[in-house]
Chain A
Amino acid sequence: MNLLKLSWKNLTNKPLAMLLSLVLFALGVGLISFLFLVNSQINDKFEKNLAGIDLVIGAKGSPLQLILSSMYHIDAPTGNITIKNVMPYLNAKNPYIKMAVPLSLGDSYRGYRIVGTSANLLELYQAKVRTGRSFRDVMEVLAGAGAAEELGLKIGSTFQSSHGLIEDANLVHGGHPFKVVGILKPSGAAIDQLLLTPAQSIWEVHEHAGMGTPAPAVEEEATAVDSLAEEHAEATKQMGTMALTNQEDDHLNEDHEHGKPQMQSIINYPDKEITSLLLQFNGHNIMTLNLQRMINQNTKMQAATPAIEITRLYSLMGVGQDALSWLAFIIMAVSGLSIFISLYSSLSERRYELALMRTMGASPGKLFAMIILEGLLLATLGYGLGLLISHFGMELLAGEMKAAYRYTFTGLTFLPEELYLLFGALGLGFIAAVIPAIQARNTDISKTLAEG
């Protein structure tokens, strides 16, 4: 019967009395550890996706929305820009631009976003092809690891894209099957969840959609759009509910033939549209510093700096996180108080047996240590339970978050912060137990026994 076992038996002798303290403690620890987990994983995702991008050019609108949709693929795009307007930045000879990656967004396949882009997107994210090869021609798809796995895509798989970023059988673009030619290695960045294809594929799908068939009469807008392929392309990119074709039309469209165009650089299509352009500068100088202001003031486009927008997003989220952290610390403090109260009140019940232990030869220090150990045991138990709650909760939530944001989260990682949290928990257990322990140490044996 060592001291630890004795403390343990004392705790478990009245499990209900300690339950409240334990649950509170576990909740506090769980909440803090959960915040750690969410924070670190979100930061991690944001950082990975920054990928050294200095500027994003897109249609006017919310800069944050532009960043979120173009870099993190979690919001709707702001609109489209015409290639001729960004031509200077696409020019490989531009001395200030290290890399320019066009993006055409707005379509998806079973909820996974199809991104029309160029091959240097892979370079930007340092993504590597795992199997197959990168896209070389129109309608070829290089699938992100996560998307390929979830959608069950393999080399040679074909699928039809759907208009908009949510799954909707009524918005399927008929007659233009995409073909998977390669699958990427997992990187942990947003690219894992994307289906990459040349920007030309997106134009292809939209320009030819519904061409052989009149659009449904009820869709006036659609009819109008139908006559102007380019406007059509723009309209389809606007996140909306416009139905261009329906399922039956798609079947009619399947026999529609079109000549496969030779794929050329998008520079050759000045009148086509893309959603946004990701820019990496060749070092920073006055030109690049002024570029953003210049674009915002003098053009119908907008330019946004990822770092600034993400900092803004952090500060927005920060308020909620601060509130949650405060809540967690208050719960911790209350649980500390609860441990103190339950130990203290158990002492008055146990004062006779403490005196008895002294008559049997226990030193005051031993009684002190016994009570401290009870506090530490409770803290450790609460810590373990709290971690279980947070990691289990995170794992449960990971599924939901993945469905909502196409980001993978996990509850199965442990952070160094959680080790500090253990020390914090033990410290709190100690502090909560120290006054009762001093009380136990100072037990007046004779007086207590005489009262007995």
Chain B
Amino acid sequence: MLETKQLAFSYDEKKGMNFPDFSLQKGEHCLLLGQSGSGKTTLLHLLGGLLSPSQGSIRIGDTELGQLRASALDHFRGKNIGIIFQKSHFVRALTIGENMALAQQLAGLKPDRERIMELLDRLNITEKFRLKPDRLSVGEQQRAAIARALINQAPIILADEPTSALDDHNAEEVIQLLEEQASVLGSTLLVVTHDKRLKDRFPKQITL
């Protein structure tokens, strides 16, 4: 499902980063570990098509990311990759429900209110549908961010430090939800973290 080969990236000439080759099966969950500055986030951005590698290739399903043109890549990303960030961000002018609908539309899908409600319900934040994001607590925001990443049933879910801003209770809840929902959808889940609380939960781990 997800496969990298001889991936390398450099912000400038002096400092280059090389990443190990790895591949994930469909539905597989995996933890990507590493110290700060080891290039975890860079790798995640490469996988999400937010950055282009200076060499090497990334294959998602049957698609070679490097061969997609800019707009095709945007479209592909919206449809196939759900990304969750350390701090959840939303379009502040829109309610949670509208943010969900926007995610569907930007991916080229029709807004589906039922699907949104169902997902919010599963994540236990149904009543936040009509609220603006800044009215939610940090834990609720992160759950809403998960809902948004899952809304288009993307085959790949990438999570960048999804728990590091949360307390133990919320962290546990969020990672559990993430795993659960990824399993329900059969999505491949890659969690980038240095959060020790998550170490034991994932059998498959890659260390940078």
Contacts and interface: CB of A to CB of B under 8 A. Distances in A.
A404 interface: no
11 contacts: A6-B91, A12-B93, A356-B89, A357-B91, A359-B48, A360-B106, A446-B51, A449-B85, A450-B41, A450-B42, A450-B45
Contacts of B75: 361, 363
Contacts of A450: 41-42, 45
B103 A360 contact: yes
Give me the 5 closest cross-chain CB pairs, A-B, nearest first: A361-B78, A13-B93, A361-B106, A9-B93, A446-B45
A6 B103 CA distance: 12
A9 B94 CA distance: 7
A357 B106 contact: yes
A366 B107 CA distance: 12
B74 A358 contact: yes
Given A1-B98, A361-B74, A363-B74, A452 B89 contact: yes
B86 interface: yes
Interface string A71-106: 000000000000000000000000000000000000
B91 A353 contact: yes
B146 interface: no
A445 interface: yes
- Give the size range of B's interface with the partner: 20 to 34
Given A356-B89, A360-B103, A450-B41, A1 B77 contact: no
Interface in A345-378: 350, 352-353, 356-366
B102 interface: yes
Interface string B3-35: 000000000000000000000000000000000
Contacts of B79: 361
A449 B107 CA distance: 19
Interface of B: 41-42, 45, 48, 50-51, 70-71, 74-75, 77-79, 81, 83, 85-87, 89-94, 98, 101-103, 105-108, 111, 148
A87 to B, nearest CB: 82
A436 to B, nearest CB: 16
Given A9-B94, A353-B90, A360-B78, 15 more contacts: A1-B102, A13-B93, A350-B92, A357-B91, A358-B74, A360-B106, A361-B77, A361-B79, A361-B106, A361-B108, A363-B75, A445-B50, A446-B42, A446-B45, A450-B42
B45 to A, nearest CB: 4
A317 B62 CA distance: 75
Contacts of B86: 452
A178 to B, nearest CB: 69
Contacts of B87: 452
A359 B93 contact: no
Contacts of A69: none
A335 to B, nearest CB: 22
Interface in A280-317: none
A363 B93 contact: no
Main secondary structure of the interface of A (DSSP, over half): helix
B147 to A, nearest CB: 13
A279 B48 CA distance: 87
Given A361-B108, A446-B45, A452 B103 contact: no
Contacts of B77: 359-361
Given A1-B111, A363-B74, A452-B85, A13 B92 contact: yes
B92 A360 contact: no
Interface string A413-452: 0000000000000000000000000000000011001101
A410 interface: no
A129 to B, nearest CB: 64
A362 B92 contact: no
B91 A356 contact: yes
Contacts of B111: 1
A360 B51 CA distance: 15
A10 interface: yes
A270 to B, nearest CB: 84
B93 A10 contact: yes
A449 B50 contact: yes
A322 to B, nearest CB: 42
Nearest to A3: B105
A10 B93 CA distance: 5
B45 A6 contact: no
Contacts of A445: 45, 50
A233 B8 CA distance: 107
B177 to A, nearest CB: 20
A127 B87 CA distance: 79
B174 to A, nearest CB: 17
Contacts of A6: 91, 93-94, 102
Contacts of B102: 1, 6, 357, 360
A270 B107 CA distance: 95
Contacts of A350: 92
Given A359-B83, A449-B45, A1 B89 contact: no
Given A1-B98, A1-B111, A449-B45, A359 B91 contact: no
